[in-house]
Amino acid sequence: MAFDPISGAIGLGTSLIGGLFGGGRKAEQAAGKAAQEQAKWENETAMWDWWYKLQFREYEYNQALRIYDRSKQVYNEQMSFNEQAAARSYEAENARMREYLQGLSFEKQDSLVEALKATGAVDARGVSGVSTGRLSNDVLSQLGRNNAILAENLVSAQKQSLRDTETIRLNKMSADNDALSRLGLAPEKAPQPPAPVFRQASTGGGGGSSSLLTIGSAVMAGLSAGYVPKR
């Protein structure tokens, strides 16, 4: 059978064209697979990165809670100490005033006794039943001056006691405010980091273009609830 050069040329050309198109499809498929592998690796990395951020957020919040709980304990102890210290100071001030009033009473009694002695109206039996009418004008005047001095001293002592009491109150208030400032505010959990997005390689004929898809709500909820993604 005679060789037809035209038919041979056509067959060879067809084989070459088929080989070229076949090789192109294989290259495109290989590129698509590589893009998918790259997208898978990026997605897994993004998921792990987000998971670690969630765990670190929880750790920081729990650590802040532990510190705050300890601060509250110290604060409560300090407030209790301030209350006890103020109570002791108030009691000491009240005791001082009681002692002063008792001493003042003795001074008034001594002043009266001295006045009675000055008139010879006091004998060994004491001052019982003695009438002030028997006292001379001079003695009465002296007794009045003594009583006025005692009254003035009493007013002065009462004013000083009020100032001391107010100082105790202000000192306690200052100590309470100082304890409160060291306590600070209760910690709040930081906002949740934004969820990652999945990169999905296109398998179409667009030359390997990519699109971004948000991660599924089920996966997000699982990670937020403590799910540990697999490597």
Closest CA to 196 of 182, 178, 216: 216
Taking residue 101's Cβ as centre, other Cβ atoms within 10 Å add up to: 13
H helix intervals, the chain = 5-118, 137-183, 217-224
pLDDT at 56: 93
Give the integer Cα–Cα distance in Å for 179 and 173.
10
Residue 182 is assigned to a structural domain of this protein: yes
DSSP 208: S
Residue 75 is assigned to a structural domain of this protein: yes
Residue 86 is assigned to a structural domain of this protein: yes
Residue 181 is assigned to a structural domain of this protein: yes
Give the integer Cα–Cα distance in Å for 26 and 208.
14
pLDDT at 118: 64
Residue 17 is assigned to a structural domain of this protein: no
Q: What angle do CA 68, 74, 78 make, to 5 degrees?
A: 140
How many structural domains is the chain composed of?
A: 1
Query: Which residues span the domain enclosing 185?
Result: 35-224
pLDDT at 200: 72
Contacts of 86 (CB under 8 A, 6+ apart): 168, 169, 171, 172
pLDDT digit string (tens) for the chain, length 231 residues: 555 555 555 554 555 455 545 566 777 778 878 888 888 888 888 889 999 999 999 999 999 999 999 999 999 999 999 999 999 999 999 998 888 888 877 777 767 667 666 666 544 444 445 554 555 666 667 777 777 887 888 888 889 999 999 999 999 999 999 999 988 888 999 888 888 887 776 555 444 444 444 444 445 555 555 555 555
Residue 30 is assigned to a structural domain of this protein: no
Give the integer Cα–Cα distance in Å for 192 and 58.
10
In a 13 Å sphere around the CA of 194, the CA atoms on its Cβ side amount to 4
Structure-token pair, residue 55: 């765990």
Residue 1 is assigned to a structural domain of this protein: no
DSSP 231: -
pLDDT at 170: 95
Residue 87 is assigned to a structural domain of this protein: yes
